């Protein structure tokens, strides 16, 4: 069996931009995660920058923290929303309540 290398159809990043990122420590090396966090903290004047595997994972962590702070296990979501929003709520074992955005329905 031969494995084929498939290039992405489109990427806004050029090969040169990726090479520069690797050279400047933002690659997959042992300190890439720490370097990227530090760069984001500087760029946005933030006390801390947390990196997550996906937007859904970040939303799941945010929902979990908010639920702890408020002391509630219920999350209210629009009935028509992206699947990942509900997935994040399911991930923190929240009770999900849906509402309709259109007041006439």
Is there a single domain that holds both residue 45 and residue 76? no
Q: Rounded CA gap, 41 and 49, in Å?
A: 6
pLDDT at residue 25, as a whole number = 60
Is there a single domain that holds both residue 60 and residue 29? no
Is there a single domain that holds both residue 37 and residue 19? yes
Examine residue 5 and state whether it is found in any structural domain, yes or no: no
Examine residue 8 and state whether it is found in any structural domain, yes or no: no
pLDDT at residue 81, as a whole number = 86
**Tens-binned pLDDT, residue by residue, of the chain (105 aa):** 566 666 666 667 777 877 777 776 655 555 556 677 888 899 899 999 888 888 999 999 999 999 999 998 999 999 888 889 999 999 999 999 999 888 787
- Residue 90 structural domain: 55-99
pLDDT at residue 36, as a whole number = 79
Residues 26 and 13 sit within 8 Å (Cβ to Cβ): no
The pTM of the full predicted model, rounded to 2 decimals, is: 0.61
Is there a single domain that holds both residue 47 and residue 59? no
Is there a single domain that holds both residue 62 and residue 45? no
Number of domains in the chain: 2
| Total Cβ atoms within 10 A of residue 27 | 14
């Amino acid at each position: 069996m031969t494995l084929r290398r498939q290039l992405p159809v489109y990427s806004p990043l050029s090969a040169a931009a990726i090479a520069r990122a690797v050279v400047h420590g933002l690659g997959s090396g042992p300190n890439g995660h720490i370097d990227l966090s530090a760069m984001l903290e500087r760029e946005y004047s933030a006390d801390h920058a947390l990196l997550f595997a996906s937007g859904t994972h970040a939303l799941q962590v945010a929902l979990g923290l908010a639920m702890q702070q408020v002391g509630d296990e219920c999350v209210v979501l629009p009935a028509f929303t992206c699947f990942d929003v509900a997935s994040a709520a399911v991930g923190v074992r929240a009770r999900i309540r849906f509402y309709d955005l259109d007041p006439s329905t």
